[in-house]
Amino acid sequence: MSLVNTINSAVDIAFSTLGDLVTTATLSNASNESYAFPVLDPFGNPTTEGAVSTTTVSSTVQVIIESSGKVKSPEGLDIIQTQMLIRSDEIPNPSVYSSVTVGTKVYTIVSYTADVALTTLFVTEL
């Protein structure tokens, strides 16, 4: 068994053992919009109209809320920042997500760190 598999197995055991500390969360991204410009014929007349398309990505994952505490924002305001642990294999690319919903609370993802087994999201409540 490789070291990565051993670490991932240990993380799986930890998530199973912590039972009621593990909760379900939904990760979502801010809608990505793109615009398709109209196609023009050789005389400059539109043959198709412009169109806006929106793509939204969401994923349901298991998280452990590790800690929550007051920190200073870049603007100097006191904010509550929460750290959430997620198995890295559940979200291979955390940068595509902008928010996390746990129950009725919606959090904005401020930053994250990721390694082979765990991703830590640093979030603030909306």
Taking only the tens place, the pLDDT of each residue in 33-65 is 676 777 777 877 777 776 777 777 889 999 999
> Residue 13: enclosing H or E segment and its boundaries?
helix 3-17
Across residues 20-30, what is the average pLDDT? 91
Reported as a single tens digit per residue, the pLDDT across 88-113 is: 999 988 988 999 999 999 999 999 99
105 within some domain: yes
Task: Report whether 28 contacts 97 (CB < 8 A).
Answer: yes
* Residue 90: domain span: 3-30+57-125
**36 domain-assigned:** no
Average pLDDT, the chain: 87
Full-model pTM:
0.75
- Domain of 80: which CATH number? 2.40.10
Share of the chain above pLDDT 90, in %: 52
Tokens at 3, concatenated? 């070291």
**DSSP strand E in the chain: where?**
22-28, 32-36, 51-55, 58-72, 78-87, 99-102, 105-114, 118-125
User: In this structure, is residue 49 part of a structural domain?
Assistant: no
Domain count, the chain: 1
CA pair distance 79, 69, nearest whole angstrom: 8
